Amino acid sequence: MPEHAQALATLVAQNREHLQAYLPAVVQLDSFGEAQAYLQTACARAASGDVLEWHVFSATALCGSIRLKDIDAAERNARIGYYLGSQFQGRGIASAAVRAVLAHAFGALQLHRIELQCAAGNHASMALAERLGFAHEGVLRQGELLNGVFVDLHVFGLLQPDFVPEGVAFSQA
């Protein structure tokens, strides 16, 4: 994955304004050095099993990222997060990619529950969660400090028995 550093820096730089709204930490990856350091850390965290991250491609273009974090093998749960560049939205790419990661999480990783949290104004992420069968479980009032303002977080959960894979194939590089 470190070989994706330049593509990641370019994607972030091209989507700075888009990503700033809900993922200000990602905006910091807009240079080759920052992206490379981040990817090296991501590989180390993957080796420990705490965080798994995948890059999403459309043909040869890096268009986003998905990660499972706070993976708790004993409790069999994790949280999922993702982003796409604005130019790749509206094509079903995020739905297909998240569905593939969910299939891996519920299959190979044998997780039972995946949680997704998104800021109240992030309607695209809320719609994706609902499309994939996540249940809206509630709101964490002012649950995140985002760009200097406390915002509500919507919490969605998906249980393994409720997941419909729809024939998704998954391969991990």
The pLDDT tens digits along the chain (173 residues) read: 678 899 999 999 999 998 998 999 899 999 999 999 999 998 888 888 889 999 999 889 999 999 999 999 999 999 999 999 999 998 999 999 999 999 999 999 999 999 999 999 999 999 999 999 999 999 999 999 999 999 999 999 999 999 988 754 444 44
CA distance 81 to 25: 13
DSSP-derived secondary structure letter, 109:
T
What is the CB neighbour count within 10 angstroms for residue 157? 18
| Predicted pLDDT at 167 | 54
CA distance 57 to 84: 10
| Predicted pLDDT at 3 | 84
DSSP-derived secondary structure letter, 77:
E
- pTM for this predicted structure: 0.89
